[in-house]
Amino acid sequence: MRFAIHAGAAYSSESLRFAKQIGCTDAIGGGPPAPSIGIESPWHEVWKVEDLVKMKRQVEAHGLRLEVFEDCPPINKIMLGYDGREEQLENFCKSVENLAEADIRTINASSACWIDEFGVWGRVAGTGTLPGRGGAQTRAFDYEEIKKLPLTEYGELTEERTWENLAYLVNGVVPTLESCGVRLAFHPCDPPISPTQGFARPLRSTETFDRLLNIAPTTDTIGLNFCQGCFSEMGEDIPTAIHHFGSQGRIFFGHFRDVKGAVPKFQEVLHDDGQTDMFNAMEAYYDVDFEGPMRPDHGIGLEGEAGWKMAKVFAIGYMKGLAESVEKTR
């Protein structure tokens, strides 16, 4: 099993050495810029080959693999249905060609509404924190609080329009993905409940992901960033969902985490303190011959100045222990 942490926006040697030291095989990356390695360029509509190659070489120089970016070139005009979406799709496809040239094979379309100002709920429209085990800092979600928030400057985006825009993206990019050998993963909407502040959250259940995959059913280039936390928030049985998508080869990489509760109200928790049988979850990945990397994802704040980093150490150690236990019982 391949384990990873995020390389961070900087791609710093410190973070990459840390990943290697705690037993990671991979780093999960992100697109430009990356100031610590001299990539100062702002966010471009087309990602440059030279920047992508430099990122990959930086990661590989520390004994890690970089095959997955946990973001993708801009798609905000596409997903909002704005003027200029045709040009943005063309630029997206050019970036895919450049990613292939740099040998980065998987990218990720973010959850929520695909605009920077309205990302994962905990960063922008979260409902606060709750103490976890021993007072650890964890994030909490309560839909009743979200309902009180006003619309964003973007107004409303309906379910129907969102699915039309998703179909435009998928159908437009699949030919380039197939010709280049690059895959596009989708992360569940977080929170998996709709709407929030007037925006539809389409990817919120096994059934809605099946609908996404059926937009282009014959391709193997569209799949999931399988976030266990989000599927647990949905109320889904995690091993069952892993078997469902993994048996189709549609889990491209994963987020291994857990929560307590489900929409409309839940709390993120430490890996061994949630509602999922994490051994059974890890076993399910082996059952479906999952070969991509997985990472702990959302951080939990432990005691001390290095608390967030120590939470990653705990998570990777826990995941490696589960994997070893599964392997030794087979």
Tens of pLDDT along 44-97? 789 999 999 999 999 999 999 999 999 999 898 999 899 999 999 999 999 999
| Residue-averaged pLDDT of the chain | 92
Nearest of 110, 31, 26 to residue 295 by alpha carbon: 26
Half-sphere exposure of 221 (CA within 13 A, CB side): 21
- Name 196's bridge partners: 199
Question: Would you state the structure tokens that stand for residue 8, as one six-digit string?
Answer: 């961070």
pLDDT reading at 127 higher than 80? no
Distance CA 112, CA 190 (A): 6
Q: Give the residue among 328, 78, 72, 80 at the shortest CA–CA distance from 177.
A: 72
Distance of CA 12 to the CA centre of its chain: 21
**Does residue 123 register a pLDDT over 80?**
no
CB 317 within 8 A of CB 22: yes
Tokens of 153: 């400057």
Strand partners, 109: 186
**Is the pLDDT higher at 143 or at 119?**
143
How far is the C-alpha of 53 from the C-alpha of 173, rounded, in Å? Answer: 22
Strand locations in the chain, DSSP E?
2-6, 26-28, 106-109, 129-131, 137-142, 183-186, 222-227, 251-255, 258-262, 265-269, 293-295
- Whether 185 shows a pLDDT value over 50: the answer reads yes
User: CA-CA distance, 37 to 60, in Å (whole number)?
Assistant: 13
d(CA 232, CA 213): 20
Return the SS3 of 273: coil
Q: Where are the domains of the chain?
A: 2-328
DSSP state of 305: T
Q: Cα–Cα distances in Å, from 187 out to 158, 225, 308?
A: 19, 5, 23
| Average pLDDT value for residue range 206-226 | 98
CA nearest to 100, candidates 47, 58, 35: 47
Asked whether the beta carbons of 283 and 326 are under 8 A apart, the reply is yes
Amino acid symbol at 112: A
Tell whether the model's pLDDT for residue 41 goes beyond 80: no
What proportion of the chain, given as a percentage, has pLDDT over 70?
94
Q: Are strands 222-227 and 183-186 parallel, antiparallel or unpaired?
A: parallel
DSSP state of 219: -
Judge whether residue 187 has pLDDT over 50: yes
The answer to whether residue 114 scores a pLDDT higher than 70 is no
**Lowest mean pLDDT across 16-25, 98-107, 126-135, 202-211:** 126-135
> Which whole number is the average pLDDT over 183-200?
91
SS3 content of the chain, % helix, strand, coil (to 5): 40, 20, 40
As a whole number of Å, the end-to-end CA separation of the chain is: 14
Q: What is the spatial distance between Cα 295 and Cα 281, in angstroms, rounded to a whole number?
A: 14
Q: Which fold has domain 2-328?
A: TIM Barrel (3.20.20)
Model confidence pLDDT, tens digit, residues 236-293: 999 999 999 999 999 999 999 999 999 999 999 999 999 999 999 999 999 999 999 9
Banded pLDDT at 9 (limits 50, 70, 90) = confident
Q: For tokens 């998570």, name the residue.
A: 315
d(CA 132, CA 274): 10
Q: Where does the pLDDT of residue 115 fall: very low under 50, low under 70, confident under 90, or very high at 90 and above?
A: low
Query: How many Å apart are CA 174 and CA 270, to the nearest integer?
Result: 37
Cα–Cα distance, 308 to 190 (Å, whole number): 21
pTM above threshold 0.85:
yes
